[in-house]
Structures are given as structure tokens and as C-alpha cells.
Amino acid sequence: MIARCALAVLLAVPASAAGTQPLSLLGIPAGKGDASLSVPMQILLLLTLMTLLPAAVMCVTPFLRLTVVLHFLRQALGTQTIPSNQVLLGLSLFLTVVIMQPVAVDMYHQGWEPLESGQATLTEAMDQGFRPLRAFLVRFAREKDVRLMVEMSHAPAPRSPADLDLKLLIPAYILSELKTGFQIGAVLFLPFLVIDLVVASCTLSIGMMQLPPVMISAPFKILLFVLVDGWNLVVGSLMKSFYQ
């Protein structure tokens, strides 16, 4: 509702109210030139980018790997909904901000600043601004997944990683991150699985058939996780995996 009201107010503002300077919302001058965009068109582009922003944050950032690993960790601990989804997503989001801050700064300097100062067109600014993001994705996208995307799209083989199109690089990165996240999650499951097996064997051997082994193993798994400072180890290992 607030967005609709703001949109109506912006569209209702007459051109003379803005003074002699053309209105600009996205750093693109709004005038009668060939390279300019009107204010309604800039608002439309801005709302479109805001709609696609959650998908971009989840798919082309470390957010994907972080959420997968933390979900596996919670399942391995057997704590059901503790920590809650909001806590895990919030932790993943802030860790993503820390990791992606250098990339975002480079994208701003290489893409947005030339566009805002008029030194580059929109196409040139987008091409220059996406270079840091492309370099980040290339670091973690497996060659096997990139080759799969190139073969499925019947696109010509790129001569270098810098020639990869983002529409092929992004799905390859997502597949690679899913594989990495599941690998880390499987490794996290192993020590807690051993505890479950030991507790189940002990309860069955002494005839405790009515009490679920999970009820007994859960405190031991939490105690082990706390004693080894598990959150620091898991988060630290995840962060270091993006700085190698």
C-alpha cells in the first residue's frame, strides 16, 4: 500500500516542480535525450529490480551454501525448530553481507559511478559493473557444471572464464553451491549419527523399548556441540571457504 501511494505521488509531480534539473531515480538522467529514461520508466525498473532482489541474494551469493549447511546442522542436532528459521536466515544474511561487501563495492565503483557521472552508457555500466560478480561466481562454479550449462544451451565454448555469459554462469554456480552445501552437511551429520547409533544400541540392550533413543541422544549431541564450540567452528569454516 505504501509503495502504491509513493508511486502515485511520484507520477503526479509535474515536471516543472523538479526545477531545471531533470529527475533521476536510478542515476539515469530523465530528459528528452536518446540515452535518457522517463521517471515512470525508472520507477518501473526500480520496482522490477526490487522484486528480483530476493532471488538474486539467494542464488548468486554465499547465502545459498550458508542456509543449506545451517539447515543440515539443525537436522543433525535434532533440535527441530531451534534455532528458528528466522535466526538461521538472519545469520546467513549477515554473513553474506560480510562476504559480498568487497564485491558490492567493486561493482559500485566500476558500474554505478561511471553511469551516474555520465562517463558510461547504461550498457557499458552494466558490463563493467557485473565483472566483479562474474569473477566471484567463476571462483566457485565447477568446470563440470559450467560445461553442462554450455552444452545444454548449445552456446559456443568460451575462450576464457571472463567470456562466460551470466545466464550460464549463474545456474552453474547454483549447482556447484548445492553440491558443496550437501557435502558439508553430510560431514556434519557423521559425529551426531555415531551418537545416535551408540545411544540406540545401549537403550535396546537394556530393554528400554518405550523410550525413543532420540530423546536420550539429543542432550548428548547438544552437549558435544557446545563443548567443541560448534557454532564458532561451523561459521568460521564456512567463512574461510569463501576466502581461499
Peptide bond preceding 29 in cis form (omega within 30 of 0): no
Segment 46-50 shows an average pLDDT of 80
Segment 121-136 shows an average pLDDT of 81
Q: What is the mean pLDDT of the chain?
A: 77
Distances from the Cα of 165 to the Cαs of 24, 71, 121, 133, 152, in angstroms?
Answer: 30, 31, 20, 12, 14
Distances from the Cα of 107 to the Cαs of 49, 95, 102, 104, 148, in angstroms?
Answer: 16, 19, 9, 5, 28
Rounded to a whole number of angstroms, the CA Rg of the chain reads 25
pLDDT tens sequence across 153-208: 887 777 777 777 788 888 889 999 999 989 988 888 888 888 888 887 877 777 76
Distances from the Cα of 48 to the Cαs of 20, 44, 53, 64, 167, in angstroms?
Answer: 28, 6, 9, 22, 18
Q: How confident is the model at residue 32 (pLDDT cuts 50, 70, 90)?
A: very low
Q: Per-residue pLDDT for 63 more than 80?
A: yes
Q: Per-residue pLDDT for 125 more than 80?
A: no
Q: Per-residue pLDDT for 41 more than 80?
A: no
* Residue 36 confidence (pLDDT): 56
Q: Per-residue pLDDT for 19 more than 50?
A: no
Q: Per-residue pLDDT for 230 more than 80?
A: yes
* Residue 182 confidence (pLDDT): 92
Segment 10-31 shows an average pLDDT of 43
CB-CB contact of 157 with 150 (8 Å): yes
Burial of residue 27 (number of CB atoms within 10 Å: 0-12, 13-18, 19+): middle
User: Exposure string (b/e) for 153-185, b if CB count within 10 Å is 16 or more?
Assistant: eeeeeeeeeeebeeebbbbbbbbbbeebbeebb
Q: Quick one: DSSP state of residue 17?
A: G
CB-CB contact of 56 with 73 (8 Å): no
Peptide bond preceding 54 in cis form (omega within 30 of 0): no
Written as one letter, the residue type at 216 is I
What angle, rounded to 10 degrees, do the helices at 166-205 and 39-59 form? 40
Q: Per-residue pLDDT for 11 more than 70?
A: no
